[in-house]
Structure 1
Amino acid sequence: MKKIVHVIIGLNVGGAELMLKRLVLHSQQKGNFHHEVISLTDLGLIGKDLKEAGIRVYTLNMSSLLSIFSIYFSLRNLLKDIKPDIVQTWMYHADFLGGLAAKSLDIQKIIWGIRTTDVTQGASRLTVGLRKICAKLSYSVPTDIVCAAHVSKDVHIKIGYDASKMHVIPNGFELDKLVATEEDRNKIREEFNISKDAIVIGSVGRFNIVKNQKFFVEIAKKLVKTDPNLIFMLVGRDNTINNNELMGWLSEHNLINNFRLLGQREDIPYCLKAMDIFCLHSKTEGFPNVLGEAMALGVTAIARDVGDSKYLIQNKLLIQNEVDGFCRTIITLLNDRILLVEEGRRNIDIVRKFSMDEYINRINRIYS
């Protein structure tokens, strides 16, 4: 059985981390490959989940760039002890450190992972610079480069990555776990004092300049002028009443009573089910996991043209880039409830093409 070691910068909750968890658990269950995971920093919530599931997880506790050289040698020594057949790295920092360490040990299969599109939006100068270095190293270090999105592949080829090594494998969804009932929908609504008949427009994502919650607040500001009873739901880390910046925006536009701030939750499917319309308003994305999750639950979704949104949403009306476009589309949907329901049903059929089984089959072809 081939041994695969995954290298990632950390294991807190995020799109890449959740995808790593899904891949490892599903692949290990099928019994074709043995997986182990190395976090360059700490264990995080995902690391705890993996350990509880019987996956060996190592942490190197990198705390700053000053420790990068010692971390490199620790990583190299660890890989030397583990003796993997394949090293798979996730995102630039891990691609760089994990790729070089694996290459120095003459590991024959090194798979890099690209999940972002436009890192100039909100990323540090270091990350932008590291991407340029990785572009040059892509010709000599990895054997394969897996992109989560078609747009990510195109962007990275333009900045100099080796196009001949690139594969696009969209994220796989655990469709059997993306389930929520009307009872679950009502439970969330009751918890946050939302009536059964209220229209709820929501989004999910950590509070961050890239996730662009201010754009969502601007949408709400315009829509409440025509319907003051609309409810807007924000789910994700730091979307809470303790966030002074967010609360300042809501207070400025007299929106506090229209918003429900749920913060980080474990029951994301229930939260999505409580929404009538989902909005993806990020400045940049790779393959937007949460958009697919909303669609899998039959929620009608509107998204900016970021990452692979348009590969998921196939109705051009529902791809909008400006606040006014979002508002017009939402009003159209609210005035035509049949269209709203039909789009939700269509979403379920679209997302069925992105199952975890399909993802595992495609990544296995690279492993083999």
Structure 2
Amino acid sequence: MEATKKIRVLQTIRQGKIGGGESHVLDLVRYLDKGLFEPVVLSFTDGPMITSLAKLGVPAHVIHTEKAFDFKVWKKVKQFLKEQRVDIVHVHGTRANTNVLWAARSLGLPVIYTIHGWSFHDSLPAWNKKARILAEKFITRRTRLNITVSDSNHETGVREFGDFKSLVVKNGVNLEKFNRFGEYPDIKALYGIPAHHLVIGYIVRITEQKDPLGMLRAYARVCANFRDLTLLMIGEGDLKDAAVQLARDLGISDRVIFDNFRQDVPAVLNAVDIYCLPSLWEGFPIGVLEAMAMAKAVIASDVDGTREAVEHEVTGLLVPPKDEAALVAAIERLIHDRALRNTLQENAGRSVKANFDVRDMTHKIETVYQQMLAPL
């Protein structure tokens, strides 16, 4: 009896560094049913994700570009799709889409576009925001299916494009990896953090979107009232140097520990008491889900998909974006109120287990793949 042909799905993403979208891709290919699907990954830069994929036994390739709409690589992408005998192309993020869409469509391949947060936002100059809206409108109308990771992102697409359609599939978290009951190395001891210190975690790209400078200014105000605190800022990005300098200027360098991205995020989270994500905008923040899975008290901005992940006063605290006073008040409230902190932690752990298991997310996407190739 002839074996059923597996569906070859290309997952493509803009970079090999580990971020929210890249974690999503890693978990998706990890949990796809290998009896039905053969995943292949194309990234447009090298990085730790490529190494992680190799450990999973998933073929990963790099065609280097750091530009959107880089027509110089389009023919290479087309040749790559032919060589890989791809059945479905699943693109993650705007830049990857703009550099794969032409090649896939020219070969008659169905394209699924997962929007991990829109590329346009209010902090951009008006002309740039308008250009990005037009670009997103153009590419979303030329895919077979759009997937948004939050109801908020779907609603934004409808508001900006008019006839936008998408399937909402919210992100999930790997509960085997982010196991609140696991055993982890002592990260506090590794960084020389006193055992009695309460640790505030900021584990994310250090970019404008994540408002690292606002985080530091708020933390400095908290430090004026509380002694036994350490802020752990783990990440990289174009504001890293500015953040290090601001910590010096604020006189809190001895109470902030900076480090680059680590592969052992569960161990880092295990050392954290309060996780902060003061983003200006989000898709559906995987970092928040990871912190909640590890039963951490979360403080996050009341934006986009974040408010769909965190229920205010139940699984975490939400504060307005760019409101440092509100962030200070939320941090101080959780420092003072251990009972509330414990309640939020327990509720967060239960919520993620019930609602945001990456295996459930993967099953939904597997169904999409099968429907995509089903005969009419």
Mark yes or no: TM-score above 0.5: yes
Aligned with 1:83 (options 82, 85, 94): 85
Given residue 90 of structure 1, which amino acid in structure 2 is its aligned partner? Answer: H
Q: 1:101 to 1:128 in 2, by over 3 A?
A: farther
Instruction: State how 1:269-280 maps to structure 2 within 5 Å.
Output: 269-280=266-277
* TM-score, structure 1 normalization: 0.89
Report what 1:168 is aligned to.
168
Report what 1:197 is aligned to.
196
- The unaligned stretches of length 5 or more in structure 1 are none
How many pairs were matched up? 359
Instruction: State how 1:350-365 maps to structure 2 within 5 Å.
Output: 350-352=351-353, 353-365=355-367
- CA distance in 2: counterparts of 1:143 and 1:162, whole angstroms: 14
Q: 1:64 to 1:206 in 2, by over 3 A?
A: closer
- CA distance in 1: counterparts of 2:58 and 2:24, whole angstroms: 15
Report what 1:292 is aligned to.
289
- Is 1:260 matched up with 2:264? no
* TM-score, structure 2 normalization: 0.88
- Is 1:60 matched up with 2:59? no
The 8 Å contact of residues 272 and 296 in structure 2, kept in 1 or not, is answered as: yes
Given residue 30 of structure 2, which amino acid in structure 1 is its aligned partner? Answer: L
Report what 1:206 is aligned to.
205
- CA distance in 2: counterparts of 1:222 and 1:20, whole angstroms: 38
Q: 1:182 to 1:72 in 2, by over 3 A?
A: closer
Given residue 19 of structure 1, which amino acid in structure 2 is its aligned partner? Answer: H
Q: Percent same amino acid among aligned pairs?
A: 21
Report what 1:178 is aligned to.
178
For the residue of structure 2 that corresponds to 1:42, the secondary structure is coil
The 8 Å contact of residues 149 and 287 in structure 1, kept in 2 or not, is answered as: yes
The 8 Å contact of residues 92 and 130 in structure 1, kept in 2 or not, is answered as: no
Q: C-alpha displacement at 1:20, in angstroms?
A: 0.8
Q: C-alpha displacement at 1:64, in angstroms?
A: 5.3
Q: C-alpha displacement at 1:277, in angstroms?
A: 0.9
- CA distance in 2: counterparts of 1:244 and 1:5, whole angstroms: 36
Report what 1:93 is aligned to.
95
- CA distance in 2: counterparts of 1:202 and 1:289, whole angstroms: 15
- CA distance in 2: counterparts of 1:34 and 1:126, whole angstroms: 38
- CA distance in 2: counterparts of 1:45 and 1:36, whole angstroms: 16
Q: C-alpha displacement at 1:251, in angstroms?
A: 1.8
- Is 1:331 matched up with 2:332? yes
Report what 1:246 is aligned to.
243
For the residue of structure 2 that corresponds to 1:179, the secondary structure is coil
Report what 2:302 is aligned to.
305
The 8 Å contact of residues 7 and 37 in structure 1, kept in 2 or not, is answered as: yes
Q: 1:183 to 1:86 in 2, by over 3 A?
A: closer
The 8 Å contact of residues 229 and 258 in structure 1, kept in 2 or not, is answered as: no
The 8 Å contact of residues 93 and 130 in structure 1, kept in 2 or not, is answered as: no
Q: 1:176 to 1:182 in 2, by over 3 A?
A: closer
Q: C-alpha displacement at 1:80, in angstroms?
A: 2.5
The 8 Å contact of residues 201 and 274 in structure 2, kept in 1 or not, is answered as: yes
Q: C-alpha displacement at 1:21, in angstroms?
A: 1.3
Given residue 313 of structure 1, which amino acid in structure 2 is its aligned partner? Answer: V
Q: C-alpha displacement at 1:308, in angstroms?
A: 1.4
Q: C-alpha displacement at 1:136, in angstroms?
A: 2.8
For the residue of structure 1 that corresponds to 2:262, the secondary structure is coil
Aligned with 1:16 (options 1, 21, 35): 21
Provide Cα deviations, 1:184-224, integer angstroms capped at 9, x if missing partner.
37x11112222222122221112212221111111112112
Q: C-alpha displacement at 1:252, in angstroms?
A: 1.7
RMSD: 2.5
Of residues 309-318 and 260-269 in structure 1, the stretch that sits farther from structure 2 once superposed is 309-318
Report what 2:3 is aligned to.
none
Q: 1:262 to 1:81 in 2, by over 3 A?
A: closer
